[in-house]
Amino acid sequence: MINSRAASEETLKFCNKFPNLLSKPLGNTGLTVTACGFGAYRVDYRVREHFESLEYAITSGINLVDTSANYSDGGSEILIGNVMGELINEKKIRREEIVIVSKGGYLQGKNLEAAKKMKEDGVGYKEVTEYAENIWHCIHPDFLRDQITLSLERMKLETIDVYLLHNPEYFLDSPLAKEIELDELRHEYYNRIKKAFAYLEEEVTGGRIGCYGISSNSFVKSPHDPVFTSFQQCLSSANELSAENNFKVIEFPLNLNERGAIINKNQRGDTASLVDFAAKNNFGMLVNRPLNAISETGLTRLADFEVNIDFAKMDEAQIIAEISLLDSMEEDFSREYLEILNLSEENKKAVNYFLKAGQLLKENWKSFGSIENFNDIKKQFLIPRVNFAFTTLVSSPNLTDEMKDQLDKIAKQTNKLMRVMDSIYGLKGNAGSKELHLKLNKIVEPGEADKFKDLTLSQKAILFINSIEAISCTLVGMRQEKYVDDVTQCLKAPKIKNVLEKWENL
């Protein structure tokens, strides 16, 4: 168990040890945080690189870590506990210096399996939103109690510094919601939030959380949107409980393409934006998705992509030849060795089906569309398939050195083709972002332009957010150490002057 919690004086001292990195107060919590935090959405304790990246981020001066119970099905929280424990044991940090944010609300993975079993047994959670087959949602006190317990156990913590209700608007967008009048639906929605707040006040008193808030994608929507969550209404609910309540932090999306938090007047009778109104109430504001802009046309990654120019210059005949080579290598391996590896029928069929990266690329390499789409396909489909096939084959006791040699060649050719695709689609992505680079360079003041133009696109996108005085921390995914370096360099850059005017000009 890691005792204690983040403390005012210690978080300030920690940030002062890194004077070149921009830091800010976290609203009226008394805590001081670096202007960028480690977003732990896609990290997992089973990936060594993620462990090293989080450790590197903290020792490089990042002192806020944001996670959730459902990230990597709990694996993100386990990673945070492991890294924190090691750094504290090695006396590299003190618990009081680091701000840990976690969230609860989703039922997915093991959480969902347990909830379904409880429902079958007649002891299920109350007020569950059965949003879809693989996603339920709940903010009832009974569920939150269990979630806080599990999160504390996974992170080995005595206290979660900031605990957020995670996208409670799922209730407003559920199948059940479509059967209820909007006024009645919203009345029930804010009643549920108020009930959750009342329970979280008890958790603050008990010491298991330091303060609480809401992370919502719908804070930034138009007030006329059925899924809109009113920060003003949530604040009123907390104030009705107590003038000295502990509702102190909100989290929402903001990036160069999705500017609703700044430009949508959806608070105080549609006269103030979310950022304006939260700033006037001295709230801690965490921004998520600073580099992943979501629109009706899909995801746009606000970053420059690494390109191997030799791969990017390959002509179509060369690419087809490289893909055909992988396809033939996989076919030869399956034909010559699969039968003698003595795999179970189930595993044999699976390997035969999964060892098809060459075939998949041959049929689709020209139609991935964008680097974002290719990365999604690579991470969600291609790499898992290849990894399953290789793991199954390597575990066979009949695998010979000759077979291992062939598998090694297949792996090298697969990796080469991944880099080829990365470069081809990355080059297209960089061409598309060149116009944005030029636009941003023109928007900043002439005296700022010389230093600003040398920043990467991701650094420019983050700096535009960090320069908003009222925003406490921008959460960035830093799964690799090079991403940590990119962020810390951005934290050293001078803030953009008159930045809110520049947001309007975007």
pLDDT in tens, 306-326: 899 999 889 999 999 999 999
pLDDT of residue 395: 82
Q: Which spans in 66-170 are helix H?
A: 75-89, 109-120, 141-155
pLDDT for position 224: 93
pLDDT computed for residue 139 by the predictor: 98
CA dist., res. 218 & res. 220, Å (int): 5
Query: How would residue 382 be classed by pLDDT, with cut points 50, 70 and 90?
Result: confident
Pinpoint the alpha helices (H) of 268-400. 274-280, 309-312, 316-337, 345-354, 357-364, 371-377, 383-394
pLDDT exceeds cutoff 90 at 173? yes
Q: pLDDT value at position 71?
A: 95
Residue 226 has pLDDT above 80, yes or no: yes
The answer to which of 223-232, 381-390, 401-410, 456-465 has the lowest mean pLDDT is: 381-390
pLDDT (0 to 100) of residue 219? 98
For residues 91-102, average pLDDT? 98
- Please indicate, yes or no, whether the overall pTM of this predicted structure exceeds 0.85: yes
Q: What pLDDT shows up at residue 213?
A: 98
Whether the predicted pLDDT of 298 surpasses 80: no
Looking at residue 72, its pLDDT comes to 94
| pLDDT above 80: residue 1 | yes
Architecture of the domain whose range is 8-301: Alpha-Beta Barrel (3.20)
Query: How does the average pLDDT of the chain come out, rounded?
Result: 94
Instruction: Tell me the average pLDDT across 483-496.
Output: 96
Q: Between 383-394 and 401-443, two packed helices, what is the crossing angle to 10 degrees?
A: 160
Q: SS3 for 425?
A: helix
Partner residues linked to 273 by β-bridges? 265
pLDDT at 176: 85
* Token duo for residue 18: 């890194």
Burial of 185 (0-12, 13-18, 19+ CB in 10 A): middle
Contact between 371 and 305 (Cβ < 8 Å): yes
Residue 390 has pLDDT above 90, yes or no: no
Q: How confident is the model at residue 341 (pLDDT cuts 50, 70, 90)?
A: confident
| pLDDT score, position 26 | 98
Give the percent of the chain with pLDDT over 70: 100
Instruction: Compute the CA torsion angle 264, 265, 268, 274 (nearest 10 deg).
Output: 30
pLDDT per residue as tens digits for the range 28-81? 999 999 999 999 998 999 999 999 999 999 999 999 999 999 999 999 999 999
Residue tagged 């996670």 (tokens): 67
Q: Answer whether residue 166 shows pLDDT above 90.
A: yes
How much is the pLDDT for 237?
Answer: 97
Q: Mean pLDDT over residues 390-414, rounded?
A: 89
Q: Please give the Cα distance from 140 to 125 (Å, whole number).
A: 8
Give residue 470's pLDDT: 97
pLDDT at 345: 85
Check whether 446 has a pLDDT greater than 90. Answer: no
Among all chains, which residue has been given the structure tokens 């023109």? 442
pLDDT of 191 reads 97
pLDDT at 353: 79
Q: How many CB atoms lie within 10 A of CB 169?
A: 24
Domains of the chain, by residue range, sit at 8-301, 309-429
Decide if pLDDT at 297 tops 80.
no
Measured between alpha carbons, how far is 54 from 74 in angstroms, rounded to an integer? Answer: 16
Check residue 138 and give its pLDDT.
97
